[in-house]
Amino acid sequence: MSLPPLVEPAAELTVDEVRRYSRHLIIPDVGMTGQKRLKNAKVLVIGAGGLGSPALLYLAAAGVGTIGIAEFDEVDESNLQRQIIHGQSDIGRPKAESARDSIREANPYVDVVVHNERLDNDNVLGIFEQYDLIVDGTDNFATRYMVNDAAYFLKKPYVWGSIYRFDGQASVFWPTLSEFVDGDSSAVASDAPCYRCLYPEPPPPGMVPSCAEGGVLGVLCASIGSIQVNEAIKLLTGIGDPLVGRLMIYDALEMEYRKLRVRKDPNCALCGENPTVTGLIDYDTFCGAISDEAADAAADATISVGMLEQWIKERDNGERDFVLIDVREPNEYEINRIPGSVLIPKGDFLNGSALEQLPQVTSGDKQVVMHCKSGVRSAETLAIVKAAGYADAVHVGGGVVAWVNQIDPSQPAY
C-alpha cells in the first residue's frame, strides 16, 4: 500500500546538496522532489545505542534535514561492539553529544537537536510534537509502551525495531493512519495497528532478558537499524510499501526474513473500539522490573556487596557458613565471578532441578545466598527458593556488576 508523503518538499537544494545526494536524485522514485522532502523532514530517534547508531548515521547520510536524538546515557566500553556512532575517545561522554558530533562529521547540512534527558510522562509529548516521525531504538518495554501511546495521542507514525542475540524485528505503527489518507487506501489504513495490538501486555517480569543480560550480535543492530531507516524514508517521501500492518522478522543465523500480518485489535486498550488507556500511564508499574513475588521475597532479604565481602571473610575464618549461588548463564560466569560462587543458572530453578543441588532445608547449617548480574534474576530465583522452604535465603543487590565496581575493579565488566 503506497501512502502519501509525510512531509512537503523544501524550497530548494543547494548546489552542494545536489552533489552530495546525486545518487538519490537519479533514482526516479526519489528524484529532486523526494530529496527535498527529506531535507524538510524532522525525525526523532529514541536512543543512540545499538539500533540508534546506524539509524542516526543513515538518516543523516540520506539528507534528513532535522534529526533529534533522545538519549540520556553515557558511552561505555561495552557499547562499542555494536554502537558504531561512538568511538574509543567517546567513552564516558554523553551518548547524545557523541552521536551529534558523529552526525555533523557525516553530514554538515543536517541540523541536530539533542535531548540529553530520559523520556518520561512529563516531557515525551512535548518532545514528540516537534517531529514528523519517530524512530524507536529503545531496549526496554516500559519505554516502548510509552512511545507507542505518546505517538498515538499525537497521531504520529513511528518505526519500531527490536533485537536480541541473533533475532530482530521491525514494523511501522500508525493506528491513526486512516485520518491521513483517503480513497483506495482508506480501507487498508483503517486496519493499521499499534504496538499494543501486537503485544497487548508486556511479558512477565524476568522472562525476557535485556540485551545487557542476554547479549546481541553487533552486526544485527545494523541490519535492523537500516531497515528502520528504509521505512522512515519511504514514509517521508511517499514511495514503496511501508511495513504498516506487517511485522518483519529476521533470523541472522538462518539468514531468513519473514513477514507476518498484524491487524488492528478491536479490543486494543489504546486504539480499539472501547479504549481504556486514554492518557499516559505509569509504565514502570505496568511492565514491572520484577514480579510481585520477587519483590516480596527480596524486600527483607537483600544484602549489599560490601556485606557479602564481609560474609566471605567470616566464612574463610570459620565464623559463618553459606553457599553462594550464581544464577547467570555459563558464558557470563566465564567473564567474571564472585570468588567462591557456584554456578546454577536461573533456568534450573525454573524447572526445579536446582533445588536438588542446594543444602537440605533440614540441615540448618548453610544459608543460601544468590546473585546474578544486576539483582533481577537473583530476586526471581530467591522467590522460588524461599517458597521451597529456605526462609533465611538472601540475594545480593546489584549483583556482580556492583561487585566489580565496588569490590574488585580488576575484573572485567560487561
Catalytic residue ranges: 211, 372
By the 8 A CB rule, do 194 and 271 touch? Answer: yes
Map the chain to HEC letters.
CCCCCCCCCCCCCCHHHHHHCHHHHCCCCCHHHHHHHHHHCEEEEECCCCCHHHHHHHHHHHCCCEEEEECCCECCHHHHHCCCCCCHHHCCCEHHHHHHHHHHHHCCCCEEEEECCCCCCCCHHHHHCCCCEEEECCCCHHHHHHHHHHHHHCCCCEEEEEEEECEEEEEEECCCHHHCCCHHHHHHHCCCCCHHHHCCCCCCCCCCCCHHHHCECHHHHHHHHHHHHHHHHHHHHCCCCCCECEEEEEECCCCEEEEEECCCCCCCCCCCCCCCCCCCCCHHHHHCCCCHHHHHHHCCCEECHHHHHHHHHHHHCCCCCEEEEECCCHHHHHHCCCCCEEECCHHHHHCCHHHHHCCCHHHCCCEEEEECCCCHHHHHHHHHHHHCCCCCCEEECCHHHHHHHHCCCCCCCC
Q: Which three cell numbers stand for residue 43?
A: 525525525
Torsion of CA 349, 353, 354, 360, to 10 degrees: 130
CA 306 from centroid of its chain's CA atoms: 31
Grid cell 530548494 is found at 12
What residue type is assigned to position 74 of the chain?
A: E
Q: Exposed, middle or buried by CB within 10 Å (0-12, 13-18, 19+), for 212?
A: middle
